[in-house]
Structure 1
Amino acid sequence: MKNILAEIVAHKHTEVAARKKVRSTTELEQAPMFGREGLSLCQFLRMPDKTGIIAEFKRRSPSKGLINGNVTVQQVTTAYTRYGASGLSVLTDEKFFGGTSDDLQQARSYNQVPILRKDFIVDEYQIVEAKAIGADVILLIAECLEAAEVKHLSTFAHNLGLEVLLEVHSESQLEKVSEHVNLVGVNNRDLITFQVDFNRSCELAPKIPAGKLKVAESGINDPAAIVTLQQAGFEGFLIGEHFMRQEDPARAFEQFVSTMRSLQNR
């Protein structure tokens, strides 16, 4: 199977170079949202009245094709927030995931919870962009960044007041966790083959450096899994396709949370 991640990252470098010519960093820094004080995903994940779920708005993926093209950002994200999402994740990659920066800006205008810019960040410019469109958190993917790049980009984000979620899916990648990484996400999906291995999170949880909030990502489609993952030390749960795959993602999220809370109260 071809390496999808390598293809995405190669395209991302070309895409970013083109965007720099259209809108300068100076222009981004003058955007109304650039000066806002960010919300802390770490804090929201630990609020007792929230669910710990980072609920995602995603239209399509390279592995599944179109996931849901019939719902709006407003419909879905406001429901996620209403039913207790600790944060939102919004895809902004257009070519491979059908997302846009406007999706995140819309989510920001309707919700007062932290928003993760879900993209393939390879350049400082994208971090300035994230701040300018209203994101509170950026994603860095250990699979496609060297340790020095993670350190540099996470420090750059920290200096702009953004939190950093570093995504890993092997023990060796934990060596890339640096000072300004706030959250470590274990992706159960192999980014080379896009296959899911749910045990990945539980195996890596005890090895994540102390002081970093643990987030489980991908393949979570059962409320009982949240309870298991919480017992393994996870405080955040990034869930995307499971809700977006449903005809009514808002209703699916409400039912998932209701079942999850019943299990937690047993």
Structure 2
Amino acid sequence: MTEDKPRSHGRLAISASLKPRELMTDTPRLKGAWRARIITLFPEAFPGTLGLSLTGKALQEGRWALETIDLRPFGIGKHRNVDDTPAGGGAGMVLRADVVARAFDEAAIGTPVERSRWPVVYLSPRGRRFDQAMARSWAEADGITLLCGRFEGVDQRVLDHYAVEEVSLGDFVLTGGEIAAQAMIDATVRLLPGVLGNAASTEEESHSHGLLEHPQYTKPQVWEGREIPPVLMSGHHGEIEKWRRAEAERITRERRPDLWEDSGDSRRQPDR
């Protein structure tokens, strides 16, 4: 167990091994940079959209690192089988505990033991729903290990043995966890220092304060007979802030009453 030390984003770290396989290995990684390790049957799915735009630029700059661990080489027998039929019968196949355990052991090399510093997560539709607060918590860690499920799921014993947290992208089912992993990593990486050009952007957007974001406008001032709300052109920053807050509250009440109830604003202010 290592002593907690503040992370530096100014010095370079040298990686002596490519196992797990680090993507964008042609660029140096800043020492202390946040890392995502993905256990998957489809490592070719990464970086995917994470290699584009601001997250891709930050990846190339070494502000964060993306590593994939191919589950197939840990498989059993000549054909590297990673799954088997469900105990008790039923449709589909289940990822084997012994196979997944080997991948978890590989992923744990060089990572902190404390789960607050390095969460270990299985992407599962029965897990706790992913949200902005979770993204912020992950961004404050040193990195994360994500297991992308396939088939009917994973043997429960390996999840229990490694105290794996189950997290869901939403109340729907995907064919695998790769898309969910990319979405969650994107939400997390954009909160890291230096990834977004304007840090204030993350404070003003939806879910940052328990409310949905206010409407946004830009030029032209009039389009198809629709005008930008005059208050936004007034130059009175106090009035603009009041308008934006009121609009955020209105939209949250109308579209996400569950968020409105949780935000506490519903108890402080009457409905308009």
TM-score by length of 1: 0.29
RCO comparison, higher one (Cα < 8 Å, 6+): 1
- Give the structure with the larger helix fraction: 1
